[in-house]
Amino acid sequence: MNTNIKICEWDGTMQGGSTISETFLVDATVGRNLEFRLDTKDYVAGDPFLTSPSGKNYTNVEFTSEINLWIIKLDTEAEVGEWTWTKPLSGKSTKMKVTVTAQARDPMRLPIITESWMNTGTDFVDASQQQVIVYARVTQGDKPVVGAKVRAYVTTPSTTAEAVELNLLDNGQNADVQAGDGIYSRYFTQFVSKGRYAVKAQVWDEGSSFINNGFITSRRILDTPLTFSLFTGLRDQLVANEYCCGSVVPFNPETAVPTGNFTRTAAAGSFNVLKIPPIGGDSFPPSQVRDLAIMVNDSSHVTLTWTAPGDDFDSGIVKGYEIWMSDNISALNDNVTENTAICILDLPHSTNTPEVLKEPGEEIVLSVKLETSLEPNTLYFVSLRAVDHNKNNGPMSRPVGFTGEIVSGGAGISGGLNPWTVTLLVLGCLRGVL
């Protein structure tokens, strides 16, 4: 594989009369034909040089004076480890940009690569109406890299403001469709003015990144007993609907391979914002909750878990929640009312319930006492939505079906349960089944 892979990108404004040194990593999957490029807005005397992990200096610089560009090319395979680039600075301050690329160390072995893009593409955007999502895919061939640290930098039209930093997530929540598929994402909501926004993503390992070699569909949900007559035939439907929003790509630690230290950089391009939401307003609702689960403790007590969304899609803490229950799945939609469903937690009470007011991405566990006891052999459904500080409602979560049927053993969200159990249905994948 002879594709150039960007392993480092750095830019900034530096003061004259000093020396700058920064580091970059060369991992075990890259290292052939490493190239270091440094360009400056104004000429700055002094040639850059590279220092390898073993301490060897590389000073074979090519300089193009017309565009103030320095290039260092390695004619040998780059050592694995932490490298340092150094540039003496003289004269006045100037803007600088550094890019380091390399090719696969073994042409027959696929390296880790990163791609980045926006859902808007590079088109014009009306940010008052259109959601903007930043994505980054991290893979080795067709195998996802999971557990990596991925950060997007969004440069705004303001020439003096620092780039907005977004930590992209692969957790199956909010902007992310499926956990563990190697695609990291996040909503962008911090619009400052009309104009062009440029996006790039940086990826690195902090000891938690793995190459997932077990890319098969999870059957975890099928371990739940499906004994109640209303669930007849649903097992086959679950098998047929292998993937859906909020699902998880299975991870087998026995076949997964640690990536080791690595860094990657990918440019997503830019998009031009024609209109922004009102400054100081609250135009973005919370995201939909995708992983609601319920455990029936006894006939009048249930425990719910979910991942917290954000006040603005996936940023900020929401004002509160509404949790609804009904024996009619059709009643649990965005127009739900007390005429068709029971509100087991309303907004005023949730705003005074600290355990549900958590940062986006954190797990919420809530125990609820029901006013009316559950009837055995009856199928119920529960759904919730988050509400922001401007009382914008997020979408209702996919309803979760459960029954208080007594069965042997336990099933649900944790072990050691009472005889009352729950059967979970990912109803977002089973539309039209019930």
pLDDT in tens, 197-223: 999 999 999 999 999 987 444 433 333
**Averaged pLDDT for residues 184-207:** 94
**Averaged pLDDT for residues 166-179:** 92
Q: Is the pLDDT of residue 14 over 90?
A: no
Determine if the pTM surpasses 0.95. Answer: no
First to last CA, the chain: 50
127: domain CATH number is 2.60.40.10
pLDDT value at residue 216: 46
15: domain CATH number is 2.60.120.380
- Under 8 Å between Cβ of 113 and 101: no
Beta bridge partners of 177: none
CA–CA gap between residue 99 and residue 26 (Å, rounded): 13
Q: Which has more confidence, 232 or 106?
A: 106
pLDDT value at residue 405: 56
Q: Which has more confidence, 236 or 167?
A: 167
Domain boundary among 104, 135, 151: 104
Q: Is the pLDDT of residue 410 over 50?
A: no
Q: Is the pLDDT of residue 432 over 80?
A: no
Residue 89 lies in a domain: yes
Does residue 186 sit in the same domain as residue 98?
Answer: no
Confidence of residue 89 (pLDDT cuts 50, 70, 90): confident
Mean pLDDT of the chain: 83
pLDDT value at residue 425: 39
Does residue 179 sit in the same domain as residue 120?
Answer: yes
**Averaged pLDDT for residues 311-319:** 93
CA dihedral for 214, 216, 219, 220, sign (positive or negative) = positive
**Domains identified in the chain, total number:** 3
CA–CA gap between residue 309 and residue 394 (Å, rounded): 9
pLDDT value at residue 93: 75
Name the residue among 416, 418, 424, 394 with its Cα closest to residue 406: 418
Q: Is the pLDDT of residue 340 over 90?
A: no
pLDDT value at residue 223: 34
CA 218 to chain CA centroid, nearest Å: 20
pLDDT value at residue 246: 53
Does residue 263 sit in the same domain as residue 371?
Answer: no
Does residue 266 sit in the same domain as residue 172?
Answer: yes
Residue 362 lies in a domain: yes
Q: Is the pLDDT of residue 77 over 60?
A: yes
Does residue 259 sit in the same domain as residue 373?
Answer: no
Residue 318 lies in a domain: yes
Does residue 174 sit in the same domain as residue 203?
Answer: yes
CA–CA gap between residue 326 and residue 304 (Å, rounded): 15
pLDDT value at residue 219: 37
Residue 237 lies in a domain: no
Does residue 117 sit in the same domain as residue 87?
Answer: no
Residue 240 lies in a domain: no
CA–CA gap between residue 61 and residue 184 (Å, rounded): 37
pLDDT value at residue 394: 95
pLDDT value at residue 245: 52
Q: Which has more confidence, 35 or 277?
A: 35
Does residue 371 sit in the same domain as residue 323?
Answer: yes
Residue 266 lies in a domain: yes
Domain residue limits at 24: 5-104
Residue 144 lies in a domain: yes
Q: Is the pLDDT of residue 263 over 70?
A: yes
CA–CA gap between residue 214 and residue 254 (Å, rounded): 9
Domain boundary among 77, 104, 131: 104
Asked which of 66-70, 336-340, 352-356 is least confident by mean pLDDT, the reply is 336-340
Does residue 93 sit in the same domain as residue 120?
Answer: no
pLDDT value at residue 160: 78
Residue 281 lies in a domain: no
Q: Is the pLDDT of residue 412 over 50?
A: no
Dig out the tokens for 258 from the structure: 């640690």
Ranked by mean pLDDT, which of 114-123, 125-134, 142-151, 334-343 comes out on top? 142-151
Does residue 91 sit in the same domain as residue 190?
Answer: no
Per cent of the chain over pLDDT 70 is: 84
Q: Is the pLDDT of residue 113 over 50?
A: yes
Q: Is the pLDDT of residue 33 over 60?
A: yes
Domain boundary among 104, 129, 156: 104
Residue 414 backbone phi and psi in degrees, to 5: -155, 170
Per cent of the chain over pLDDT 90 is: 61
Does residue 161 sit in the same domain as residue 271?
Answer: yes
Ranked by mean pLDDT, which of 241-255, 375-389, 406-420 comes out on top? 375-389
Does residue 205 sit in the same domain as residue 317?
Answer: no
- Amino acid in position 179: A
Residues composing the chain: 434
Q: Is the pLDDT of residue 238 over 60?
A: no
CA–CA gap between residue 23 and residue 154 (Å, rounded): 22
pLDDT value at residue 241: 35
Q: Which residue has the tokens 């004619």?
A: 75
